[in-house]
Chain A
């Protein structure tokens, strides 16, 4: 618990508001690729690449790839926020 005393409330507030914004952006991307685009599967299926109708492709692969990249991107950004405000862990 000794650590909180050395962190000023301003820094903590700044950290949390940036973390929260990052969370919101991440979840917007997640919602688009998790739900929104699959509602338009019939329209997407009009486009065919490599034999894949795009609506099918997004469900079978596209959204999954976006999720994987999204999590690594999120982890990287959140880590940056922690480091810039001096709130990251000392070592990994």
Chain B
């Protein structure tokens, strides 16, 4: 069978792909030198990459259930690691993480730690056992372990609550990038993004998404590393930004002490908050740790992440592939602080303290300020820095002669996008960064889309509505639901729902409190009963949702000063305790269920989920 050849040739296929992509970038760089307009370069990047993903999606089309839901369980650990990394790293990781570090300094480190440490929990507590079970979806496991459709249905509700807001965020991300680089309205660009998402997932389900995610990872990591590597070589002489930014941190700390623009000015500004400022009060420290806890446990409970580990050939490979996944995530995450630091130094050194009293002096400011001021991402003296004239007028009106830090503002998202211009690189690198951001948003959107649509088609349609449905029918239903969910996501994204995007941060606490206790105790404590798990899920999810909604919309006072985003801190223990207590109050699970758990714990032997032999075996 063709795909057998494909899996044994993966190394060659993806090396050629990487080489081809590099050649494409070099070709565009050459064309740019001979006068190809920037707009055309932007178009070529967006269309070429989407066309490649679409090609992979179409080659990977399938009419087999196990291929559609779990890629035939043939994805080697290494490649599943790459696919998981792309699945996990969204537009937010690609663009917003460095920006968050730039704006909030050390405080933002809680996100870096929380979004990586969770994989240790995935590897030790959950992934190998779910792989042994042979689930197609996370609710599938809950339904089998806790005997019935109630647990399954609650699992689907939690999954839907976390994943849908998340997917709206990703579609918005693809729309923003596509609209900026294609120069089309956002509402139209959202549907370009939608097409990009659907071509990757519709024909081949998990199989197609897996192989496009690997391709997308390669694009996004190249795009993320190249600008900052060049910048580091320019500024420090060594192309290793992750190591060299130690010096930059020193320079930043020094400037914070000495640069006049960063010091307190009576009646104008307080001294700039140090970049390395650590939490000082007990509440700050407590919230820092609480946020790490919620993000870690949330990471380990998000269905679109867990689902990736169902695709490995063995339990052993599932464990190893968690290691690879974190390694590939690490490559981006440990680079993000370097981006933030280089950008910080650029602003402190070359922007702040500049003379803004004359038009000539303002024209000497770095050009990237006006490029991004023009798209309303940089403001000086309270006005978008569209051009030197505007800045001059604004600063004259405000009576400012020397630029202080409080008169300069830059949108956090700009840090990664502007680095090519800060380093004075040709436009092709900016196009590359856009392609990387697009790859990050598309790959995450695909994973989320499958998680939602598969829960609807497999768990609701096949398990709860029509268990006798034929294979062909199941796959048709799966695809129809996939399109419905995707279109729904795009419609919501098209309305620019600021409120919904803020809710993405909730997904972690909700998933952590709603799913983590039931998943972990289902494997690690045989005595966990169905009623116990159901009550635990409802209680954990309920408490978290209550705290989130109450503190955000109804002015409910914070409990013990725990910030809104860390609501899981209450929900997670409640989930565990309720599951434990109710389980002890209800009769122990049947011998059959206890044997099932025993079987789950042992790697040897076939998967436990009943799927007819004919669909298990590839033809």
Contacts and interface: CB of A to CB of B under 8 A. Distances in A.
B273 to A, nearest CB: 15
Given A51-B249, A52-B246, A34 B296 contact: yes
Interface in B276-315: 276, 278-279, 285, 288-289, 292-293, 296, 313-315
B405 to A, nearest CB: 21
A58 B288 CA distance: 15
Contacts of B125: 23
A32 B515 CA distance: 24
Given A64-B333, A64-B334, A50 B243 contact: yes
Contacts of B245: 51
B285 A68 contact: no
B552 interface: no
A61 B603 contact: no
B113 A38 contact: yes
B609 to A, nearest CB: 12
Given A4-B595, A75-B319, A88-B316, A26 B603 contact: no
B246 A16 contact: no
A3 B342 CA distance: 58
Interface string B592-612: 000100110111111010000
A91 B248 CA distance: 49
B120 interface: yes
B390 interface: no
A35 B604 contact: no
Contacts of B113: 34, 38, 59, 63-64
Interface in B503-562: 524
Candidate in B296, B320, B524 with the most chain A CB atoms within 10 angstroms = B320
A88 B128 CA distance: 12
B106 interface: yes
Contacts of A16: 601
- The secondary-structure label for the interface of chain A is helix
Given A65-B330, A67-B119, A75-B123, A59 B598 contact: no
Interface residues of B, number: 56
Given A60-B337, A61-B334, A71-B322, A87 B116 contact: no
Chain A: number of interface residues, binned into ranges: 35 or more
A74 B493 CA distance: 41
B599 A1 contact: yes
Nearest to B76: A92
Interface string A62-92: 0111011011101100110010001111111
Nearest to B250: A51
B209 to A, nearest CB: 23
A34 B292 contact: yes
Contact of A68 (B279, B316, B317, B323): B323
Interface in A23-53: 23, 26-27, 30, 33-35, 38-39, 41-42, 45, 48-53
B604 A88 contact: yes
User: Which one of B121, B246, B248 has the highest number of Cβ atoms from chain A below 10 Å of its Cβ?
Assistant: B246
A41 B106 contact: yes
Contacts of B285: 39
Interface in B77-134: 106, 109, 112-113, 116-117, 119-121, 123-125, 128
11 contacts: A7-B604, A20-B524, A39-B285, A45-B276, A53-B276, A61-B337, A65-B334, A79-B316, A79-B319, A89-B314, A90-B604
